[in-house]
Amino acid sequence: MRVTLFITCLVDQFFPNVGVSMVRLLRRYGCEVSFPQSQTCCGQPAFNSGYVREAREVALNQLNAFEGAEYVVSPSGSCSGMVHHYYHELFADDPRLAARADALAAKTYEFSQFLVNVLGVTDVGAVCPHTVTYHPACHGSRILGIKNEPMALLQHVEGITLLPLPKAEDCCGFGGAFSVKLGDISGAMVNEKVDHITETDADFLVSGDMGCLMNMGGQMKKRGLKTEPLHLAEFLYRFSS
């Protein structure tokens, strides 16, 4: 099975271990993994800020970068959601490009979706005798409908103690441009989120999007919390290797 990585800006620039973990897990299940060097941002920051022409230019580059892929897998429900729900809109005035956008969306998966729903894997052989709480990132859960896949993977980790996160589906306040444009509101939201994480006293906070984890992790570090934020792929690989 051929998998082409859509590795996202935050993972590429700040959290390469997430990408490395994803590659090693996918190879464990026989995937032939490739990485097109021409890929860039998915265009979401420009699109959400109203720069539609600029977002379309970036999205066109992505259509070209992933043209020959069998499956496209990303460590982000947010960036995958952009491809699934907004690329068609960007190219709605061009049937040929709209068809290519639809084709890319049909073969694009967030990491846990691909592992569980395509590869049929729920048990990666991980052993983790620690407490873990899980944050369902908004775009993954609300736009892509990712609900059960991450929990199925976590529930099969031997020795794990999963602690419910109070008000888990509340946004952490990141939202990309939202946290920049409305910093005070974003700051209040992440403070409330970290209050709930503190209530769990978990050893690890796991999620599927590095934007959320970066936002919550910054506030957790500021407070001196012992809870370590980890992307699901990095968590599964760390405790199964």
Same domain flag for 10 and 114: yes
> Per the domain annotation, does 52 fall within a domain?
yes
Q: Is 104 left (phi over 0), alpha (psi -120 to 50) or beta?
A: alpha
For residue 229, list its beta bridge partners.
205
> Which of 51, 84, 118 is the last residue before a domain boundary?
118
Sign of the torsion formed by the C-alpha atoms of 152, 157, 162 and 167: negative
Sign of the torsion formed by the C-alpha atoms of 226, 227, 228 and 234: positive
- Under 8 Å between Cβ of 44 and 79: yes
pLDDT number for residue 166: 96
Same domain flag for 10 and 97: yes
Please tell me the distance from the alpha carbon of residue 222 to that of residue 84, in angstroms, as a whole number: 35
Q: Residue 16: helix, strand or coil by DSSP?
A: helix
pLDDT number for residue 176: 76
pLDDT number for residue 241: 77
Same domain flag for 221 and 152: yes
- Sheet containing 32-34: order of strands: 32-34, 2-5, 71-74, 108-110
Give the chain's domain count: 2
Please tell me the distance from the alpha carbon of residue 47 to that of residue 56, in angstroms, as a whole number: 8
- Under 8 Å between Cβ of 172 and 212: yes
Q: Per-residue DSSP letters for 23-70?
A: HHHHHHTT-EEE--TT----SHHHHHTT-HHHHHHHHHHHHHHTTT-S
Write out the residue range of the structural domain in which residue 190 sits: 131-239
Per-residue pLDDT of the chain (241 residues; tens, 9 = 90+): 999 999 999 999 999 999 999 999 999 999 999 999 999 999 999 999 999 999 999 999 999 999 999 999 999 999 999 999 999 999 999 999 999 999 999 999 999 999 999 999 999 999 999 999 999 999 888 889 998 999 999 999 999 999 999 999 999 988 878 888 888 999 999 999 999 999 999 999 999 999 999 999 999 999 999 999 999 999 999 999 7
Same domain flag for 212 and 165: yes
Pairing status of strand 71-74 against strand 131-135: unpaired
Tokens of 18: 């997430």
pLDDT number for residue 180: 83
